[in-house]
A = this chain, B = another copy of it.
Amino acid sequence: MESRPLTRHDSMNNPLVRPPNYQAVEQPSHSAASVNGLRQKSNLDDDDIHHNPPPGSSSGSGGAMDPPQGHQMTVTYDGDSEGYVSFAGGSGSNNTFHLDSDEQEFPGIGQYDDFHTIDWQRDVARDRMRHRHIIKKRDDSAWDWIKSGHDAWSGWLCVFLVGVIAGAFAGMIDIGTSWMSDLRFGICPEAFWFNQEQCCWSSNETFYDGDNCSNWYSWPEVFGHEPNGAGAYIISYIFYILWSLLFASLAASLVMMFAPYACGSGIPEIKTILSGFIIRGYLGKWTLLIKSLGMILAVSAGLSLGKEGPLVHVACCIGNIFSYAFPKYGKNEAKKREILSAAAAVGVSVAFGAPIGGVLFSLEEASYYFPLKTLWRSFFAALVAAFVLRSINPFGNEHSVLFYVEYNKPWIFIELVPFIILGVIGGIIGMLFIKFNIKWCRFRKTSLMGQYPRLEVLIVTLITAFIAYPNPYTRMNTSNLIYLLFSQCGVANNDNLCTPGSSLRSNRVSLVDVFPAGPKPASLPSSDYQRNFTNVNTAIEIAAAGPGVLQAVWLLALALIFKCVVTVFTFGIKVPCGLFIPSLAMGSIIGRLVGIGMEQLAYNYPEWAVFAGECSTGENCITPGLYAMVGAAAVLGGVTRMTVSLVVIMFELTGGVRYIVPLMAAVMASKWIGDAFGREGIYDAHIILNGYPFLDSKEEFSHTTLANDVMKPGKNESFYVITQDSMTLDDVEQLLRETDHNGFPVVVSRQSQYLVGFVARRDLNIAISQAKKTTEGIVGESIVLFTSSVPSPWMGPPPLRLRKILDLAPITITDHTPMETVVDMFRKLGLRQTLVTHNGRLLGIITKKDVLRHIKFLESEDPESVLFN
A contact set with B: CB distance below 8 Å: 1, 3-8, 10-12, 15, 18-19, 21-33, 35, 87, 90-91, 121, 124-125, 128, 131-132, 135, 353, 355-356, 359, 363-364, 371-373, 375-376, 379-380, 383, 387, 643-644, 647-648, 651-652, 655-657, 660-661, 664, 668, 697-698, 700-702, 704, 706-708, 748, 751, 754-757, 808-818, 820-821, 824-825, 828-829, 837-841, 843
Contact = CB atoms under 8 A, between A and B. Distances in A.
Contact of A125 (B356, B821, B843): B821
Given A18-B26, A356-B651, 13 more contacts: A3-B31, A7-B29, A8-B815, A11-B28, A22-B25, A121-B821, A125-B820, A364-B372, A364-B375, A383-B664, A655-B656, A809-B821, A828-B829
A91 B359 CA distance: 43
A383 B748 contact: no
A91 B708 contact: yes
Nearest to A842: B840
A679 to B, nearest CB: 13
A4 B26 contact: yes
11 contacts: A10-B29, A21-B21, A25-B25, A132-B704, A356-B356, A356-B648, A356-B660, A379-B644, A754-B839, A757-B816, A824-B829
A168 B664 CA distance: 21
Contacts of A704: 90, 132
Contacts of A837: 840
A128 B706 CA distance: 14
A355 B660 contact: yes
Contacts of A843: 8
A466 to B, nearest CB: 40
Contacts of A373: 698
Contacts of A838: 8, 11-12
A660 B383 contact: yes
A608 B331 CA distance: 48
Contact of A6 (B29, B375, B813): B29
Contacts of A30: 8
Contact of A840 (B10, B132, B372, B839): B839
A519 to B, nearest CB: 38
Copies in the complex: 2
A3 B32 contact: yes
A361 to B, nearest CB: 12
B3 A27 contact: yes
Which 6 A-B pairs give the minimum distances between C-beta atoms? A840-B840, A809-B817, A808-B816, A8-B28, A754-B839, A828-B828
A664 B379 contact: yes
A829 B656 CA distance: 39
A19 B25 contact: yes
A717 to B, nearest CB: 11
A837 B837 CA distance: 11
Nearest to A657: B652
Given A376-B644, A643-B376, A6 B22 contact: no
Contacts of A839: 11, 15, 748, 754-756, 840
Nearest to A840: B840
Nearest to A2: B32
Contacts of A135: 702
A139 to B, nearest CB: 16
Instruction: Name the residue in A701, A755, A757, A809 with the highest tally of chain B Cβ atoms < 10 Å from its Cβ.
Output: A809
Given A3-B32, A644-B359, A809 B820 contact: no
B700 A128 contact: yes
Nearest to A812: B812
Contacts of A124: 820, 824
A706 B87 CA distance: 10
Contacts of A668: 380
Nearest to A817: B809
Given A28-B8, A843-B8, A814 B810 contact: yes
Given A91-B706, A355-B660, A751 B647 contact: no
A128 B823 CA distance: 13
Contact of A647 (B90, B379, B643, B698): B379
A560 B379 CA distance: 31
Contacts of A841: 11, 840
Nearest to A707: B809
A121 B652 CA distance: 38
A754 B660 CA distance: 58
Contacts of A8: 28-30, 815, 838, 843
A697 B828 CA distance: 14
Nearest to A811: B813
Contacts of A125: 818, 820-821
A341 to B, nearest CB: 14
Nearest to A645: B375
Contact of A24 (B1, B26, B372, B816): B1
Instruction: Name the residue in A698, A702, A818, A828 with the highest tally of chain B Cβ atoms < 10 Å from its Cβ.
Output: A818
A80 to B, nearest CB: 17
Contacts of A33: 5
A387 B824 CA distance: 36
A826 to B, nearest CB: 11
Contacts of A818: 87, 90, 125, 809
A748 B643 CA distance: 51
Contacts of A11: 26-28, 838-839, 841
A407 to B, nearest CB: 13
A643 B356 CA distance: 13
A825 B814 contact: no
Contacts of A32: 3-6
Contacts of A359: 644
Contacts of A814: 755, 808-810, 812
A652 B356 CA distance: 11
Given A383-B664, A655-B656, A821-B125, A697 B372 contact: yes
B4 A28 contact: no
A380 B668 CA distance: 9
Contacts of A4: 26-27, 32
Instruction: Name the residue in A5, A24, A757 with the highest tally of chain B Cβ atoms < 10 Å from its Cβ.
Output: A24
A694 to B, nearest CB: 15
A371 B19 CA distance: 50
A128 B5 contact: no
A680 B387 CA distance: 31
A817 to B, nearest CB: 4
A714 to B, nearest CB: 10
A253 B231 CA distance: 90
A838 B841 CA distance: 11
A706 B701 CA distance: 32
A613 B16 CA distance: 80
Contacts of A372: 364, 697-698
A565 to B, nearest CB: 32
Contacts of A706: 90-91
Contacts of A380: 664, 668
